[in-house]
Amino acid sequence: MKLKISHVTEYHYEEPSVFSLQRLRLTPPTVAGQTILNWSLHVEGAKPEVEYDDQFGNHINLVSLEGEQRTTRIVAEGEVETEDRNGVLGAHSGFCPLWLFLRETPRTKAGKLVRELTRDVSGENELSRMHALMAAIHATVAYRPGTSDTETTAEQVLEKKSGVCQDHAHVFVAAARSLGVPARYVSGYLMMEEKVEQAATHAWGEAHVLGLGWVGFDPANNLCPDARYVRVASGLCYRDAAPVSGMRIGTPGEKLSVVVKVEDQGQMQSQSQS
């Protein structure tokens, strides 16, 4: 599948900002199951400071903006060729050892509710247990925007029994780790059926399964990532994989708008010929 992606992020400030420094995790890598055909990243009026790969292998662009600004506009776009590997990414690589992915963060700390969720998770092997865990989260946590934010913990999600994809991912990561399985949080894109414009970027979890390596699990949709998914960044939780993070000097008060479009280029061609 050949996917065309456009991701536009805009910050509108109530009062002019005089300086900002933004860390951007908006460049998808070429890995098993996805090949980057072309990609560009642009921030209007920004000065590139440095770019590098962090400890998780995420490509980081650090940019600064000086002078009075009312808005910051970040545009990431390009084309990615994907294939369906049933969620299997493969062997572990990178700077971080596998044991690091058993470490809790404030968002993925396993408490009473996470442990209760894992109590009934069973299966013949590790892979089947991860599938059972994904199904249990999908059945327990309703997709309901507006009931959480980026600081919401896995325990709070299970208490409310609602959230969005990042919340499903945090619960999966917390629960897998509590079962002794290395797990990580992944941010990226998902092409929705018959819908080009998405409400936001997507998130899911990955578990390191014996014999397979890293395997993706998307509890929000109860399936393993296929050719409709594009992987961008990963880490211990949302904090390590957030598309945009940084700091700004100025008065508080800003409004964020995000427009994400994911199109199947092959589908577009066949439709134009019919």
Query: What pLDDT score was predicted for residue 67?
Result: 84
Q: What percent of the chain has pLDDT over 70?
A: 97
Q: What percent of the chain has pLDDT over 90?
A: 79
> How confident is the model over 68-79, as pLDDT tens digits?
888 889 999 999
Query: What pLDDT score was predicted for residue 186?
Result: 98
> How confident is the model over 207-226, as pLDDT tens digits?
999 999 999 999 999 999 99
Range in 14-23, 54-63, 106-115 with the lowest mean pLDDT: 14-23
Which whole number is the average pLDDT over 197-204? Answer: 84
Range in 27-41, 165-179, 239-253 with the lowest mean pLDDT: 239-253
Average pLDDT, rounded, for the chain: 92
Domains in the chain, CATH or no CATH each: 2-269 (3.10.620.30)
Assessment of whether the complete model's pTM goes beyond 0.85 = yes
Query: What pLDDT score was predicted for residue 271?
Result: 39
Query: What pLDDT score was predicted for residue 242?
Result: 95
Which whole number is the average pLDDT over 154-177? Answer: 97
**In the numeric block, which tokens belong to residue 269?**
């061609």
